[in-house]
Amino acid sequence: MTHALEIRNLHIYYNSFHAVKGISITIPTNTITAIIGPSGCGKSSFLRVINRMNDLVPHARILGEVFFRGVNIYDPSVCEIDLRRRMGMVFQKPNPFPFSIFDNVAFGLRIQNRRDKVFLQERVEESLRRCALWDEVRDRLHQSAYELSGGQQQRLCIARALAVYPDVLLLDEPCASLDPKATKRIEELLQKLKEEITIVIVTHNMQQARRISDYAAFFHSGELVEWGTSAEIFDYPKKQLTQEYTQGLFG
């Protein structure tokens, strides 16, 4: 099995605060890895390091190595703009841009200077189809994205990320603001997408993590307590803390 990502001895500091403490983990290609753990344990920080979004956070300092397909992404020769194209990111609150549905999905392509109208139309349709959103929006592509429901907006954000053909999709609690039906659609979508891309998802929902993930990593107070297949983490955890967390004894 090949690894999309390999994180070695990652430490993250915000000023003198040590938020992530020596995490090492590998993320196999075409799998879903769930990052779980209580609030403040470093899940979002970890995700932001993977596509170098933490570069944009003032006072953040990163030690350790992150390999993406064998290349250390913190090597000075790596272009972080190109890296972020290859790693889509989706956040807890759907964040469509104040444009039309079409222009949201085309956004990343236009940044790449792709102007050909036919190409843009094809890629927008394809991305919306991959997110099972096409049939719901095909007749209103030029209406504001804000007119969509929360669940549709979140699928639109995934479509926007997919339009530039990323290798990795990073999702930070993408269903936290959605109802169960919209959540189910996103879960089905991720299951399908993993055939083509590698997915890392932060979730607070243990049922969700168990349903959709192949691997799971349990973080606590900035440390990686345990990491393994989802069956190992949820059914046969080695550490008592993992068992207590996954059984909902603390949040």
Ligand X SMILES: Nc1ncnc2c1ncn2[C@@H]1O[C@H](COP(=O)(O)OP(=O)(O)O)[C@@H](O)[C@H]1O
Q: Would you mind telling me the total number of residues written for the chain in this entry?
A: 251
Which of Mg ion, ligand X, none sits in contact with 250, Cβ below 5 to 8 A by type?
A: none
The residue (of 153 and 203) whose beta carbon lies closer to ligand X is 203
Supply 107's token pair. Answer: 């956004």
The residue (of 37 and 96) whose beta carbon lies closer to ligand X is 37
Contact between 208 and Mg ion (CB under 5 A)?
Answer: no
Contact between 44 and Mg ion (CB under 5 A)?
Answer: yes
Rounded distance, CA 244 to CA 238, Å?
11
Contact between 183 and Mg ion (CB under 5 A)?
Answer: no
State CA 15 to chain mean position distance.
25
CB of 223 to ligand X, least distance (A): 12
Q: State the residue for tokens 């790596």.
A: 78
Binding site for ligand X (CB under 6 A): 14, 17, 19, 37, 39-45, 57
Total H helices, total E strands in the chain:
10, 10
The residue (of 37 and 166) whose beta carbon lies closer to Mg ion is 37
The residue (of 42 and 174) whose beta carbon lies closer to ligand X is 42
Instruction: Return the axis-axis angle of helices 117-130 and 150-162, rounded to nearest 10°.
Output: 130
- Give the range of 44-52, 112-120, 189-197, 242-250 binding Mg ion by CB under 5 A: 44-52
Residues binding Mg ion (CB under 5 A): 44
